[in-house]
Structures are given as structure tokens and as C-alpha cells.
Amino acid sequence: MRGESVMSLSLSPEGEARLFNVVCLLIGIIMFYRGITDFLLFEDNPYRTLLGLIFFGGVVSIWLMYQRRRIGFWMFCFFDFSVGIVFIFFLQDIWYHHVLPHVAYAALFVPFYGQMRWGRPPDPLDRRVPPEPKSNWTGWITDHLVSFVDRWPIVARTIERIRPLQRLVNRLVINGVTSAPPPRPLPFSLWTPDSGPVARVEDGSSTRGTFTSWPGLIDRAFTGRHLPPITEGEVAALPPVDEVVALFLRGSDFKPSGKTTALFCFFAQWFTDSFLRTNPEDARKNTSNHEIDLCQIYGLGEESTRMLREGTGGLLKSREGKRLPWEKLSPVYPPFLVDPEKLEVKPEFARIAFDPIMATSFDEKDPPHGMARDLRALLEKIGEWTQTDERWVWHYAAGLERANSTIMYSAINTVFLREHNRLARELGSEYPERAAASDGDDWLFQTARNINVVLLLKIIIEDYINHLAGSPFKLKLEQGFADRCRWYRTNRITLEFNLLYRWHAMVPDVFHLGGRELKDQEFRFNNELLEQHGAEAVIHAASTQKAGRLVLSNTPSFLKHPELRSIAFARQFRLAGFNAYRRRWQLPSYKSIAELTGGNSALTQALERLYPDLNGIRGVERVELPVGLLAEARSANQVLPPLLQRMVASDAFSQALTNPLLASFVYGVNCFTEYGVGEIERTGSFADVVHRNQTLGTEPVSADFSNPAFTGDTPA
């Protein structure tokens, strides 16, 4: 809506705006010329020097009017009035020689007063949701600091040696990245007023909107969302799902990452499966605890946790596997889930629930999507090959239904189970009197669990995120400082966070183990294979082979259906486009698809065909988030494109550093003991945990997320 107008011009809005710009230019040139002449040519006359400064003030006023700022008009009137005062009272000039023209200059701007606004006028781009980001000092400092350190690694090493400086830079980077999007609580979620469950669809045809509501704000069973839904018409105009999925699929050409190992790929799946948990009965909801809590081995609630505990010494249930020729002791693995004779889930594990509420307070009512006793039926949807009797009897008891999905998932669970039991035994040895108390088993278990969870948090920040960041400056886990940040809020998983973690392109076509090439069905749901080689050998094998590069046209064919479900899921809830999320994370919009792809002609043509300009909306604004995240150009040594990197980092920091175990009044020897604090401080990587839990007799193994031979000569 335009502001009030003093005079009316019989021109179109565009013509009036162009005329206003011409008037600003002409009078601005006159004022600038007068300022130069009066300020420089009359050095001996202080009144002329003053006039020069006033004319320069007039130039500034005209610039503000050109920006459609009303303050500029009133400043110009003030400076014009000042010109009259100087000429009439100090220079004794006849008023109509110099004053009258300046009155006319001011009058020329009166018809355009309606185009101006108090404060910053609305930018046409601001009508987009969200508007184009404005610069802020924290983002500016963070971006330039990271860029400077990346160019000069020696600076990073110097900063890391000076502890106070390292802490300052560490906090600036973390706070700058995490403050990019608005903090929780978010006004929108996937809540809708439907009275019953909303099933997932796979054709993208069913779309649902939402609005701010009380249940949407407080009920974390409904997944959150960062941006409001787009219109149904915009979703309907998107290209067919099958054509979009074709962008993701790998042909015969596997694109390896020069930097990322397959271990990172499998660890990312294991890590995110614990909190990115869409409710299979209702697509609006999740079955997540919204915390990084090692529910993979502890379960989603205390009732389930009790079923996984030994009941003595603070230990988790475990068993000894068959000793391999090189092992001096029998290796430790999770207990078997299934009775091998009855082929049924053992009664001691049957009530492990895969819903947080039921896992916490079991009331004999089945959770909406089952318990451990129903696991075989739940997994049959994947394929009958996953549940043959030979494979079924090798399933491990664990906290989540996906625990046996790959031999790497089982290996990582095994490592953290061993670490928990190691910690519990060491605590019992260090504090025998406390361990012998009536609640000693509970104290040992909960203290070991607390330490184990914080070890995982350290791995996420200092190993996982540092690998993705690719910066010579290594971020550290700091407890306490997050308490004072504006983003220190209750965790909530969002739709966008769920979708951005679909890193199927990282999965290799085959997994090399023991001199064999294993196809996907061979290393999935096959724990017998894990124990034939040992958890250490499986981790070493994953760490010494390359993951796929996270780009389009690199998803293996056996993961086509998950890609299709991701695109359909985004459309079902009318997810905003890629450029909208650039703006939400304080990155400037791309003006064209060619700019988005960095000039990749083949990819540009493919995207322009699928997302042409339509109804006044540029094609680049229509590119969907899952597509844009992988299509975006990045430097050769970066694992992730810019937006994906920023979204992952901000969510990881805001989810990890708000963990209650890191709070100022929780973290310390009362929570972890002195021994526990020492274990936390000496751990900085997943490899640290692996190495101290290797079975005696096994050779030292590699457990790195990054390829140590990476030099930047090949794309990351």
C-alpha cells in the first residue's frame, strides 16, 4: 500500500518512480557541484565553507530520498532553510538570487513524498518468505573469521595454542552459525487439525497446510518446521516426483569422496536414526526423544532401559562371542534378541517399546507401531530376505528397531555397549564404597551412562562436525557457555532437519570386507557376518574405503525408493523451496539456477527443464530443498555445499550443546565423578572409544571419518 500523497502525478507507478530517480540525480549533481565550489574555491570565507558543508548535507539527504526514506526529505528541507539563512543574514544576498532556486528544489520533491517511508522502505524482495537477509555483526565476524582462518592454517594452529583466544574464537564461530536461523520455539509445526492420523503418501499429491496453534507449539510429538507451507498451487505445479528422483540416481559411475570414509557414512546413519524418527502411523508426528541420548543402546525410556540392563554392577546386558584365531579373549557383543529354538523374541526383551511414552511407562497397551516382540513383522516390509530364520536368530537386543539394519550399525552399538560396561567397571573400582551401597547398581549405571552420552556429544562436535566443516581451526565441545545464548532452548526435531539428512549418495555400491565385495543385501541385517570378522575388522574396513560424494546423480539404485519417499514427504507438507531456506539461514538468494549450480551447464539445463519460470516466479525460487541442497556448488575441498553445511552445523550445535548434561549446574564431578571427567577430557574422536574397547589380541584399527591421505587434489 502506498503512503499518502501531497500531489498526484498522472503517471504509472513505474513511471513515477523513474521520474523521481531522475529528479534525485539532477538535483543531487547540482548540490554536489555547489558543495565542491563553495568548499574549495572560497577558502578565505568561512561562510562559504559552511555553505559547502550544507550542500554536501543536501547530497546525503537526496541519497536518502533516492532510498525512499522520508527522513531524507525533511533533512533536505532543513539544509535548504540553512542555505537561505546563510545567504540572507550572513552574505547579505538578495533572496531570490540563491534562496528561491532552493525553495524550488524542495518543491520538486513534494509530489514524490508518497513514495517515501519512515524507516527503511519495503524491498520488493521482502514480500518473499522469508525476506532477503540483512547483514548482522555476528554473522559478518563469523564468516570473515572462518574465511581468514581457512586461507591461513598457521593462524588456526596459533589460535589453538593460546587457550583464551581459542575459547573466544570457538564461541564466536559456534554462536555465529547457530544464531543464523531464529531460535526455538518455532511458530509452525506439522500439526494439523485432522482428528485422526495422517498417513504418508508417495506421489506428492496430498498436501497439507498448518497455522500457529497451541498443540503445535507445545506437543513435541508433532514434528516442527522452520518455514510455513507454500500454497497447494505451488506444489501442484512442481514436476513429477519420478523425474525429480531421476536427478539423484547413480548410473554406472560411482563418484567417490576424496575426503570422507565409508565409516562416516555409516556413523551418520547410526547417529541420526536415534532422533530422526517419523511415526509410521502418522506422518505429522515423530517417535523421538529430541535428544542425543544414546537411545540406540539404552532405549527410548526407562522401562525399556531396565530390560537392557544386567541388574548388577551398573552393566548393560552383553554376551561373549566366539573367539577368533587372533583374539586372546572372547569378544563382547550385545545379547541375542531371539530364542533360537522358538524363533521368537525372548520374553526379557519383548516389551522394549519403540515409542518414547510407552518406553517410559509401560501399561500393557501396545504402542501404535509395535514393540520388540513385533519386530519381525515390522521389518518384513523391507523385504523377506531380511528376515530369514538364519538372519533373524542373529538379531541383537537394542534400544531401537533399526539396530540391526547393517553390520556397521551393530558394530557401533557394540563399541558403545563395551564402553558403557568398561566405564561401569572402572567406576566400581575407583569408588568401591559408593558402588557397594544399596543403590550402587543404579548409581554405577546412571553415572556410566552420563559419561557415555557426553563422550558421544564430544565426538559429534570434535570429530563429526569438524570433518564436515573442513576448517583448519578445530572446534571444541564447551559446556556452560551455551546456557547464556539466545538459542539455548528446548530441543525439537524439524521437518527440514529430517529431510536434509537423507545422505544416500554417500552409500557405496559395495562394501569391501575380508577380501570380498559385499552387495547391500549381504551387509544389511546380517550380524553373523559381523561376528565372523569381528567388530574391529568391520570398522577398519569402513574407515579404509571411500564414501560417495554428496552430490546429485550419486544415489545407488537400491536406495531409489527412500529418495522418492523424501521428495513426496516434502511435498505432502508443502515444504518451501531451496532459496527460501538460503534466506532463512542468512545466506543471499541465488538469482538464477546457473548461479546455484556454479555454472554446471548439464545440471543447469536439467534443473531449468524441471523448474522453469512460472506465473512470475523465477525457476530458481521453485527448486525444491532436497534437490537444491545437493545441486549447490561448493569448493572442491568441502564435503558439504554451503547451505547444507550451515543447516547441519546450526542444528547440531543447538541440539547437542543444549543437552542437560552440559548445563552449568549439572556438568562436573557430582554428575560424572573425577574419573568420569578425566575420561571425557581425554576423548576427542570416535577412534579413541574404538581403540580402548578393542578385543585383546586384535591389531590396532583405523576408525577415522576423514581419509588421512586427502590433500585436496580430488573433490571432497
End-to-end CA distance of the chain: 49
Residue 19 falls within a domain, yes or no? yes
| pLDDT at position 125 | 46
- Asked whether residue 107 is assigned to any structural domain, the reply reads yes
Tell me whether residue 44 is in a domain.
yes
Does residue 28 form part of some domain?
Answer: yes
Does position 572 have pLDDT exceeding 90, yes or no? Answer: yes
- Each residue's pLDDT tens digit, 239-264: 999 999 999 999 888 999 999 999 99
Please answer whether residues 585 and 648 qualify as being in contact, where contact means their C-beta atoms are separated by less than 8 angstroms.
no
- 432-445 pLDDT, tens digit per residue, is 999 999 999 999 99
pLDDT at residue 332, rounded to an integer: 97
**Mean of the per-residue pLDDT values for the chain?**
90
CB 483 within 8 A of CB 561: no
Assign 97 a pLDDT band (cuts: 50, 70, 90): low
Across the range 532-539, mean pLDDT stands at 97
* pLDDT tens for each residue of 6-39: 445 566 777 788 899 999 999 999 999 988 988 8
- Residue 74 counted as domain residue: yes
pLDDT tier for residue 716 given thresholds of 50, 70 and 90? confident
- What does the pLDDT average to over 41-57? 86
More confident residue, 611 or 103: 611
Whether 257 is covered by a domain: the verdict is no
Angstrom distances, CA of residue 217 to CA of 184, 223, 660: 10, 10, 21
What average pLDDT does the segment 584-598 reach? 95
Residue 345 lies in a domain: no
- Provide the residue type at 129 as one letter: V
pLDDT of 58 higher than 60: yes
Q: How high is the pLDDT of residue 199?
A: 86
- Domain assignment present for residue 136? The answer is no
Cα distance between residue 488 and residue 490, in whole Å: 7
Percent of the chain with pLDDT over 90: 68
The pLDDT confidence band at residue 480, using thresholds 50, 70 and 90, is: confident
Whole-angstrom distance, CA of residue 47 vs CA of residue 68: 31
Domain count, the chain: 1
Residue range of the domain that includes 78: 13-122
DSSP string, 412-439: HHHHHHHHHHHHHHHHHHH-HHHHTSTT
Q: pTM of the predicted model, to two decimals?
A: 0.82
Strands 344-345 and 511-513: unpaired
Give the mean model confidence (pLDDT) for residues 500-519. Answer: 93
Lowest mean pLDDT among 123-132, 195-204, 260-269, 669-678: 123-132
